[in-house]
Amino acid sequence: MYREVVSSPDAPAAVGAYSQAIKSNGFVFVSGQLGLVPGTKQFAGGTVAEQTEQALKNIAAILQAAGTSMRHVVKVTVLLADINTFAEMNSVYSTFFPEEPPARAAFGVSGLPLNGLVEIEAIAALPG
């Protein structure tokens, strides 16, 4: 089995015992990304919209480091600290996937690392 750790300086470093992403057998598995600004331990803002945008930018940077892009994302999981903010998250999310969006699940959870408002993980195919 092929397995390679993926890391990008353009996304926040892991805040625990995990890799930013793993490439394996034609796919990239991106760990959950918070809305943290790379190089800091600060959230991009205090709203779900701001944190969603930054989390997706972080995913895009990791995918680029892996040799793929948001266009090749096949599955996304979104965790929300408050499921009532789904519409706010979705309005930003849809700008990253304007056509043929990937499969997705979204869940309301009782808490996220660092008290984030949203965490997003993704699986993308490698082109070729």
**pTM of the predicted structure, to 2 decimals:** 0.97
The pLDDT of residue 104: 98
* pLDDT computed for residue 128 by the predictor: 80
CATH number, position 40: 3.30.1330.40
pLDDT confidence tier of residue 16, bands split at 50, 70 and 90: confident
Instruction: Write the DSSP string, 55-110.
Output: HHHHHHHHHHHHT--GGGEEEEEEEESSGGGHHHHHHHHHHH--SSPPEEEEEE-S
* Mean pLDDT value across the chain: 97
Size (the chain), residues: 128
Check residue 41 and give its pLDDT: 87
pLDDT at position 1 is 83
Tens digit of each residue's pLDDT (9 = 90 or more) over 22-61: 999 999 999 999 999 999 989 999 999 999 999 999 999 9
Work out how many domains the chain is built from and give that number.
1
Domain range enclosing 40: 4-125
